Amino acid sequence: MKKGKLIYEGKAKKLYQTDNPGLVIQEFKDDATAFDATKRGTITDKGVCNNKISTHLFGVLETQGIPTHFVRLLNEREMLVQRLEIIPVEVTIRNVVAGGMAKSLGLQEGKELHSPILEYHYKNDALHDPLFNEYHILAMELATEEELKTIAKYSFEVNRILLEFFDQCGLKLVDFKLEFGRHKDKILLGDEISPDTCRLWDKTTNKKLDKDRFRRDLGDIEEAYQEVLKRVCERSRV
């Protein structure tokens, strides 16, 4: 697969054209950002870890009937994926109170929720990805009613699958972000699933093993990403 010109660079990834117009190469970077990119840094080999973790988790989801953009792993930092028309709606699923939910609602971080919560955020860096709902999405014509139903269905199913998988890894899935896109006439899960996009706590100690270690200056950042990779790979071999 020939790697072509750079077509997009975000905070954590780059996308490159290939000789197939329907496929792109997704490259994972070591750059780390937080708080709308007002905090910046580098996490050594973060890109390698996130590429491998995402590869394993996309595989788990595909076997459970969740269609994703993942095609195959190319090397330590790159994967081949289907080219998507990204829907500018970020989905957050919350199982435990943390982060923005704790701050905005005055709830104690770590409180287990009675049932998972689905939130939509408008994917717009200039506006700081504001929280909005399905009525906004439909009125702004960002997605159709049928697409939203599919996105919600897939999101809750991803949560069910990953809760079980991470539990078997000795990890608590606190919350996570998903992005979806259109490919031909289908909705596919895109982006990545990694400690950059998930809050993952050790099931026994509640030690944070995700990007919160960078956000909150907790130290042992590289070690946390490596630990998640180790546990995911070990579980995938079972």
CATH, residue 49: 3.30.200.20
State what percent of residues in the chain have pLDDT above 90.
95
Does residue 238 register a pLDDT over 60?
Answer: no
Kindly report each contact of residues 62-65 with a partner whose C-beta sits within 8 Å and lies 24 or more positions away, as own/partner.
Answer: 64/157, 64/161, 65/157
Q: Residue 83 gets which letter from DSSP?
A: -
Nearest Cα to Cα of residue 34 among 54, 12, 51? 12
Does residue 2 register a pLDDT over 90?
Answer: no
The answer to whether position 131 is within a domain reads yes
Residues spanned by the domain of 161: 85-220
What per-residue confidence (pLDDT) applies to 235? 86
pLDDT tens-digit map of 160-200: 999 999 999 999 999 999 999 999 999 999 999 999 999 99
The answer to whether position 208 is within a domain reads yes
The answer to whether position 226 is within a domain reads no
What per-residue confidence (pLDDT) applies to 168? 97
Torsion sign over Cα 131, 65, 78, 236: positive
The answer to whether position 237 is within a domain reads no
Q: Residue 182 gets which letter from DSSP?
A: E
Same domain, 110 and 17: no
Residue 237 pLDDT level (bands cut at 50, 70, 90) = low
Does residue 1 register a pLDDT over 80?
Answer: no
pLDDT tens-digit map of 87-139: 999 999 999 999 999 999 999 999 999 999 999 999 998 999 999 999 999 99
Does residue 50 register a pLDDT over 90?
Answer: yes
Last residue of a domain, one of 54, 82, 110: 82
The whole-chain average pLDDT of the chain stands at 96
Q: Residue 126 in 3-state DSSP?
A: helix
The answer to whether position 229 is within a domain reads no
The answer to whether position 225 is within a domain reads no
* DSSP-assigned letters across all residues of 5-38: EEEEE-SSEEEEEESSTTEEEEEE--EEEETTTT
The answer to whether position 236 is within a domain reads no
What per-residue confidence (pLDDT) applies to 111? 96
